[in-house]
Amino acid sequence: MRRLLLEHDQVPGIETYEVYRKQGGYRSVEKALKKMSPEDVLEEVKKSGLRGRGGAGFPTGMKWSFLAKPEGVPRHLLCNADESEPGTFKDRYLMEKIPHLLIEGMITSSYALGANVSYIYIRGEYMWVLDILEKAVAEAYDNGWLGKNILGSGFDLDLYVCPGGGAYICGEETALIESLEGKRGNPRMKPPFPAVAGLWGRPTVVNNVESIAAVVPIVNDGGDEYAKIGVGRSTGTKLISACGNLERPGVYEIEMGITVEEFIYGDDYCRGIAKGKKLKACVPGGSSVPILPHYLVTKTATGEDRLMTYESLAEGGFESGSMLGSGGFIVFDEDQCIVRNTWNFARFYAHESCGQCSPCREGTGWMEKVLNRLEHGQGNMRDIDLLADINKKIEGNTICPLGDAAAWPVAAAIRHFRDEFEWHVNHREEAQKRNYGLISEKTASA
């Protein structure tokens, strides 16, 4: 089991500069600034096959190569530490435990991109993590890793940490940029893409905390070494934040390609379902990805082992697959109610819609209302079809993907657990008193 990011998370004092440096910290900055050109760094990141860890999985090297470089215009690297996708708490762990790893990644990445002023945008609720980061940034300045002419290389970098104010949508990269400009977090129409016109209209790259941290081992050991870990186009390690009804929830660094079975039940990971109960369902990549019923969690529809990779979790498409997403791994035990959870998530999206596009603003509100009705035993059969219909009206008709992110999980829940939705209609009184659990033939565990 190789750990590239959290290798030293248990070393006492690793949050301080001294200890971090003693463990080999800031080597990637030395290597990049003294021995490599920015293009060399980019080349290693491309070779590594690293894909964005914020949820979309877009290749980081490719994203970097799109950055426009007009003469005389400053460019910026923004770290997305907004982490608000339900089920996701990995970035917080990394920043809290090993703040210097993110700062080191920011320096090496900014060098590759030719950015001289970079920002970490962190959700406002993580204010104490902001304090930890600022302390680490100050240490980095004091030791010559930030500021003017770093290591005599001629490269200058200033790094700042900025808080949000509580808004899930600010994790969307253009909303993040708006927020960083001191405005409401309304996503922008694209194009232009941030790579051309981002922060203050300047070329900008937005990357997730974990993506930026991963640049450190990639530069230290080389992209090829990194790409040796994993399966196919899912290379390297991935932080998974596991929660819900697990024996041992928490943040784990996995090698891409271990089986879902091992992750849920293995001694090194979650150690099975809490209180000896049975697995009912799993949302493997944060609240925006489709839910999987237990019989599709550890195996695909064709009976193959499901792996913790982008491809394997998506195997089967919308019919029988899901997504790796942000790595927010949510597990449901046999007592949980899928209708209630679907309603809960719908309420989340209705609350978090920025309100700019009517299909999303109205649609998320309607889904919440209808699901609320169903959950509380006041719905009817038509409501279930109505939900599928609202879905179609939101999908593809909005400025940003939040509308889709709200609609898809509802569709998936109805696809796999329709019987449970119908039971809520047919057993109004009972639905108020108890959860559906694992009672049907279809979802009953062997």
Partner 1 sequence: MSSTTPVDMSLRHSEKPQFSEEKMAEVQRIIAQFPEGKEKSALIRILHIAEEEFGGWLSIETMDYVAEILEIQPIEVYEVATFYTMFNLDKTGKYVFEVCRTGPCMLVGSDQLIEHIGKKLNIKVGETTADGMFTLKTAECLGACGYGPMLQCGKKYHEHLTPEKVDQLIEAYRSGNTNTES
Ligand X SMILES: Cc1cc2nc3c(=O)[nH]c(=O)nc-3n(C[C@H](O)[C@H](O)[C@H](O)COP(=O)(O)O)c2cc1C
Binding site for ligand X (CB under 6 A): 52-56, 58, 60, 63, 80, 82-85, 169, 171-173, 206-208, 211, 400-402, 405
Partner whose footprint covers residue 357, from ligand X, partner 1, ligand SF4, none (CB < 5 to 8 Å by kind)? ligand SF4
Of 82 and 253, CB closest to ligand X: 82
Q: In the complex with ligand X, which residue's Cβ is closer, 259 or 397?
A: 397
Our finding on whether 356 is near ligand SF4 (CB under 6 A) is yes
Q: Are 79 and 195 in contact (CB under 8 A)?
A: no
Q: How far is the CB of 391 from partner 1 (least distance, A)?
A: 19
Burial zone of 292 (CB within 10 Å; 0-12 exposed, 13-18 middle, 19+ buried): buried
Q: Taking CB under 6 A as the rule, does residue 399 contact ligand SF4?
A: yes
Check: CB of residue 432 under 8 Å from CB of residue 425: no
- Footprint of partner 1 on this chain (CB under 8 A)? 74, 83-89, 91-92, 117, 123-128, 158, 160, 162-168, 179-185, 200, 241-245, 249-251, 287, 328, 330, 332-333, 336, 340-341, 344-345, 348, 350-355, 361, 365
The whole-angstrom separation of Cα 71 and Cα 65 is 16
DSSP letter at 283 equals E
Least Cβ distance, residue 74 to partner 1 (angstroms): 8
Rg value, the chain, Cα: 22
- Minimum gap (Å) between residue 354 Cβ and ligand X: 9
Give the tokens for residue 26. 């800031």
Q: Of 233, 361, 415, 427, which lies in the binding site for ligand SF4, with binding defined by CB under 6 A?
A: 361
**Burial group, residue 308, by CB count within 10 angstroms (0-12, 13-18, 19+):** buried
Q: Is 270 in the site for ligand SF4 (CB under 6 A)?
A: no
Nearest Cα to Cα of residue 327 among 220, 209, 175: 209
Nearest-angstrom CA–CA distance, 128 and 125: 8
Distance CA 275, CA 330 (A): 16
Min separation Cβ 373 and partner 1, Å: 18
Task: Enumerate binding residues for ligand SF4 (CB under 6 A).
Answer: 169, 187, 353-357, 360-361, 398-400, 402-403
